Structure 1
Amino acid sequence: MPEDLDESSPIFSIAAAAELAGMHPQTLRQYDRIGLVQPQRTAGNTRRYSMRDIGQLRQVQLLSQEGVSLEGIRRILDLSNEVRGLKERVRELEATLADQVIDRRGRVFAAGVEGVTSIRSGARPAKRNQVVVWRPLHRG
């Protein structure tokens, strides 16, 4: 798959999206009109669906079969989309924080039996592989 394509890339016509979702194209048009799934539009105003849209269409179908009203489905989809956006934002913030922690140029020190040593930020002090043998003194 080309690098510029992802799950939100609008690549499917309404006929292809309807087939992938197991629905009639008119159902997709109706869902677009009421705002359940809003595909992107081409310059010629043709609907183009993404894999994410098709996943939402399948979710609409499942919820509808379970008896959830179209308004309830719309609210569920809105909340799901909000959660997905918030998760993406958290991942971005975590990456930014990790980059800042790594890029910190402060000095880091480790203390051991040999004294205090300076180490690279993010590194662990070297462990010594020395063997110490201990025998209790016999008194008697």
Structure 2
Amino acid sequence: MENYEEPVYLISVVAKVLSIHPQTLRQYEREGLVEPSRTGGKMRLYSQKDLDRIKMILRLTRDLGVNLAGVDVILRLKEQIDEYEALVEELKSNLEQANKENTKRSLVKRKDSFDLIFLNDKK
């Protein structure tokens, strides 16, 4: 199986597969919504990850009527949420490991079927 982030599709292929004009893809790039890789000759190459992102953009614009500025905000928020979810999972793992190493006192208090972890993120 090929790498999800490996750039392999030319703009013409992406446009045909998604039934959109290549100019639309160029506009998405100008707006900063997608960043295809470039060959030495400056040809755009899209990965499967790029295609999935473009499909999401199309759903937001066509199906939900969101303009490109709104799409940008939504995609940035989604990326931020994904980063926070990954951080929460990492912190949970670290706490569980610390609990295993120090069984005398528990660092994560469990109640019912969920855990509450508070993070003070100062950037």
Name the TM-score class by shorter chain. 0.5 to 0.7
Once the 2 structures are TM-superposed, how far is the Cα of residue 45 of structure 1 from its aligned partner? 2.7
Based on CA coordinates, which of the two structures has the bigger radius of gyration? 1
Give the 3 Å change call, closer, same or farther, for CA 50–89 of structure 1 in structure 2: farther
Unmatched tracts of structure 2, length 5 or more: 105-123
TM-score of the pair, normalised by structure 1: 0.59
Runs of 4+ more than 4 Å apart: none
Where do 1:71-110 residues align within 5 Å? 71-102=69-100, 104=101
Q: Identify the structure with the greater strand proportion.
A: 1
Once the 2 structures are TM-superposed, how far is the Cα of residue 18 of structure 1 from its aligned partner? 2.1
TM-score of the pair, normalised by structure 2: 0.65
Give the 3 Å change call, closer, same or farther, for CA 92–28 of structure 1 in structure 2: same
Higher RCO structure (Cα 8 Å, ≥6 apart): 2
Once the 2 structures are TM-superposed, how far is the Cα of residue 76 of structure 1 from its aligned partner? 1.0
Match of 1:67 in 2: 65
AA at the equivalent of 1:54? L
Once the 2 structures are TM-superposed, how far is the Cα of residue 50 of structure 1 from its aligned partner? 2.1
How many aligned positions are there?
103
Identity in percent: 35
Where do 1:5-16 residues align within 5 Å? 5=3, 7-16=4-13
- Indicate the SS of the match to 2:8: coil
| 2:27 aligned with 1:27 | no
Once the 2 structures are TM-superposed, how far is the Cα of residue 57 of structure 1 from its aligned partner? 1.1
RMSD over equivalenced CA pairs, Å: 2.4
